[in-house]
Amino acid sequence: MSTQALLALDLLTTILVAVAWVAAAVLAAHRGATANAGKPAPVGAGQSGAESQSGAESQSSGAGQSGAGQGGGAEGQSGGAGQGGGAEGQRGGAGQGGEGGAVGGRVAAIAVTAAALGLTALRVLLVGLLAQRGWAFVQEKALLSLPLLVLPAIAVVVFARRTSVLPAIAAACGAVAGVVVTLVVGYPATFFNSVIVVALTVAVFLLIIGYRRPVAVGLLVAALLAGPGSALLSTFTAPLHGVDAAPLRLASAALGPVSRFELTASRLASGAWGFNAQTPGPVLRASKGDTVEVLLRNTDIEEGVTLHFHGYPVPNGDDGTAGVTQEAVMPGQQFVYRFAADKAGTFWYHTHQVSHAGVKKGLFGALIIQERPEPGEEVLIFAHRLVTGAASRQVAAGTPVTLRLINADDVTHRFLLTGVSWRLSAVDGTDLIDPGPVAGKALRLAAGGRYDVTFTMPEGAVQLGVDGQPRLGLSAPASAVEMGVPDLDLFGYGKPGTAAPVAFDRSHTVVLDRQLRLMGGLPGYAYTVNGRTWPQAPELIVRKGELVKLTVVNRDREAHPMHPHGHQVLVLSRNGIAPTGSPLWMDSYEVLPGETWEVALRADNPGVWMAHCHNLKHAAQGMMLHIRYEGLVPNYHHHGDNHPE
């Protein structure tokens, strides 16, 4: 079974097991109440006390649950109110139900308890299976959710002969806590948030059984204050100490021949935003060895702009990340970027201020650094919502053709070239080793990524389709292409180079997920990195010269195209399987749901760098973090006008 399916099944089981245990507890309590109605047994007295308490407490425990953002739990608890109703029936002393009802109730209670036990066993099994896919998939489930669920479930079995009411209520509390852990805690379960969850669970349990109410209320209040309280406190991050990273810019002594550009951002009549009144903006084209200098001006983009050179190893101060490497460029302001063009390839630039809106509205363009004047035909293809329509051009047979494909969109796109066999000669601006000829395969390009496709123009027509839509016709009008072909697997394409590194100076784990979080003071379903949202997300600290292993785990149900600034990473493995073809150096790699990628990062470009999901909507909802070189701090801050996301 795929990891994604296991994760989905585990989520479903978590909810079902909570519903089942709440039902089992309600039935057990109800039976206890009915059975004791006529007897003056001491247990009965305790029970009825518990029952009426639970009726009275269902409100406050419900409030506690919804405080934790747990609607389902609140409803489960109002099942507890029905339990209070049972207690009333008992007080009426009607002994309603009779023999047949009692037997029926007993059968129902046993059946529901058996189902709850079965689902508990299933949850244990699923967590066990998921653990085999990686500890990061189950850490908080194994250490927190399962003990809270399994220990009372064992008590239910052990004490089945005497009473199962208290263990069943405990199991119900533990099972509901499992839902809270999934939705709110996630990876990693720290000591602090584990204590809060356990305290909350114990408090709700005590309130339901009506034992030591002051203690229970105290625990509940403390847990409810500590959870959201610490979340709020963590938004006031402690100041970092170190040297400003911002002056990390090109020393002018290093300047070679200069390629100068000017980009002026403005609103267009169409409602889009453009550079130099066009979208995509003009191509920045330079030769390897040049110094690229770009003067950015903002005419009237009230939200502000910057320029980020996506995938290019620029100095940190020229990275264009508002609030991290510079202040946003507001209307009337300007900024000059400068970097050495020492790597040839296909890159792109875009605003990194309110980027989820700015890139979508058109503030982007291509950055092409050429090794040498390249003969033949070059076609630049953007995947972006504003780039529509099909083009065609006449190309003489025998002409070398290069297609530069750039995905400037939030989601993955599929490209298919027909009428010719082609080579994928570069990925994210880095050449592949010995790419072989391909035909009848589609190219799946992650958001932010680039592919260079090369071929020699044949006698006949060549078509390029994007997601089945006609896009480019060479020597023929563009026509739709049928996309029903497999994707080219980059992991087995081309020839291997030098062996991938196996020893690392440091490693970091990055777990991508969704969790209930405060966003701008309001609770929302955020995209989290190790349980946090930017700017609170944990930093990846590195030291200059180190070789760093990053393990990126996607526990979410959506794909996350991950993009580190300032560096390219070497792909080591996907789900434990290493590439067998050409080494893959990437700056935009798509981690699909349930996947684990291991990549190597060579810390050779000091600074404070952003790393984030390039589905920019996800980034805006939290999925960003910093790669920070030890001893450096960002000079600019996420305040006022600065909104890199």
Contact residues toward ligand C2O (CB under 6 A) are 308, 310, 350, 352, 448, 563, 565, 610, 612, 614
Interacting partner of 350 out of ligand C2O, Cu ion, none (Cβ under 5 to 8 A depending on kind): ligand C2O
Interacting partner of 448 out of ligand C2O, Cu ion, none (Cβ under 5 to 8 A depending on kind): ligand C2O
Instruction: Answer yes or no: are the C-beta atoms of 453 and 461 closer than 8 Å.
Output: no
Q: What residues line the site for Cu ion (CB under 5 A)?
A: 560, 613, 615, 618
The least distance separating ligand C2O from the CB of residue 450, rounded to whole angstroms, comes to: 11
Interacting partner of 613 out of ligand C2O, Cu ion, none (Cβ under 5 to 8 A depending on kind): Cu ion
Residue number, 455 or 609, with CB nearest to Cu ion: 609
Instruction: Answer yes or no: are the C-beta atoms of 627 and 319 closer than 8 Å.
Output: no
Tokens describing residue 644: 């890199």
Distance CA 95, CA 345 (A): 83
Tokens describing residue 253: 């002594």
Interacting partner of 133 out of ligand C2O, Cu ion, none (Cβ under 5 to 8 A depending on kind): none
Residue number, 31 or 626, with CB nearest to ligand C2O: 626
Count H helices and E strands in the chain, helices first. Answer: 11, 31
Residue number, 308 or 618, with CB nearest to ligand C2O: 308
Residue number, 165 or 627, with CB nearest to ligand C2O: 627
Q: Which residues, in sequence order, are bridge partners of residue 406? A: 382, 450
3-state secondary structure of 604: coil
Interacting partner of 615 out of Cu ion, ligand C2O, none (Cβ under 5 to 8 A depending on kind): Cu ion
Among 314, 321, 331, residue whose Cα is nearest residue 367: 314
Instruction: Answer yes or no: are the C-beta atoms of 151 and 484 closer than 8 Å.
Output: no
In the complex, residue closest to ligand C2O by CB: 310
3-state secondary structure of 367: strand
- Bridge-based pairing of strands 547-554 and 243-244 is unpaired
Q: Which letter, b or e, does each residue of 416-438 get, where b requires 16 or more Cβ atoms within 10 Å of its Cβ?
A: bbbbbebbbbbbbbbbbeebeeb
The least distance separating ligand C2O from the CB of residue 198, rounded to whole angstroms, comes to: 39
The least distance separating ligand C2O from the CB of residue 384, rounded to whole angstroms, comes to: 12
Instruction: Answer yes or no: are the C-beta atoms of 346 and 301 closer than 8 Å.
Output: no
The least distance separating Cu ion from the CB of residue 438, rounded to whole angstroms, comes to: 28
Residue number, 614 or 618, with CB nearest to ligand C2O: 614
The least distance separating ligand C2O from the CB of residue 421, rounded to whole angstroms, comes to: 31
H helix intervals, 467-565: none
Residue number, 64 or 644, with CB nearest to ligand C2O: 644
Interacting partner of 560 out of Cu ion, ligand C2O, none (Cβ under 5 to 8 A depending on kind): Cu ion
Residue number, 123 or 618, with CB nearest to Cu ion: 618
Residue number, 493 or 609, with CB nearest to ligand C2O: 609
**How many residues are listed for the chain in this entry?**
645
| E-strand stretches of 26-80 | none
The least distance separating ligand C2O from the CB of residue 203, rounded to whole angstroms, comes to: 43
Interacting partner of 563 out of Cu ion, ligand C2O, none (Cβ under 5 to 8 A depending on kind): ligand C2O
Among 346, 341, 359, residue whose Cα is nearest residue 281: 359
Cis upstream peptide for 214 (omega within 30°): no
Instruction: Answer yes or no: are the C-beta atoms of 351 and 265 closer than 8 Å.
Output: yes
The least distance separating Cu ion from the CB of residue 627, rounded to whole angstroms, comes to: 17
Instruction: Answer yes or no: are the C-beta atoms of 442 and 483 closer than 8 Å.
Output: yes
The least distance separating Cu ion from the CB of residue 612, rounded to whole angstroms, comes to: 8
Residue recorded with tokens 């669970």: 201
The number of angstroms, rounded, from the C-alpha of 82 to the middle of its chain's C-alpha atoms is 40
Distance CA 140, CA 152 (A): 18
Instruction: Answer yes or no: are the C-beta atoms of 416 and 336 closer than 8 Å.
Output: no
The least distance separating ligand C2O from the CB of residue 563, rounded to whole angstroms, comes to: 5
Tokens describing residue 306: 């910057």
Residue number, 297 or 560, with CB nearest to Cu ion: 560
Residue number, 308 or 514, with CB nearest to ligand C2O: 308
Interacting partner of 413 out of Cu ion, ligand C2O, none (Cβ under 5 to 8 A depending on kind): none
Among 150, 168, 252, 263, residue whose Cα is nearest residue 209: 168
Distance CA 616, CA 624 (A): 10
Instruction: Answer yes or no: are the C-beta atoms of 629 and 544 closer than 8 Å.
Output: yes
The least distance separating ligand C2O from the CB of residue 402, rounded to whole angstroms, comes to: 22
Residue number, 359 or 526, with CB nearest to ligand C2O: 359
Residue recorded with tokens 């060549």: 462
The least distance separating ligand C2O from the CB of residue 612, rounded to whole angstroms, comes to: 6
Residue number, 65 or 321, with CB nearest to Cu ion: 321
What is the strand order of the sheet 377-383 is part of? 377-383, 400-407, 450-456, 423-427, 430-431
The least distance separating ligand C2O from the CB of residue 479, rounded to whole angstroms, comes to: 32
Among 510, 473, 495, 503, residue whose Cα is nearest residue 591: 510
Residue number, 141 or 618, with CB nearest to Cu ion: 618
- Bridge-based pairing of strands 585-586 and 569-574 is antiparallel
3-state secondary structure of 390: coil
Residue number, 293 or 410, with CB nearest to Cu ion: 410
Instruction: Answer yes or no: are the C-beta atoms of 539 and 625 closer than 8 Å.
Output: yes
The least distance separating Cu ion from the CB of residue 614, rounded to whole angstroms, comes to: 8
The least distance separating ligand C2O from the CB of residue 29, rounded to whole angstroms, comes to: 54
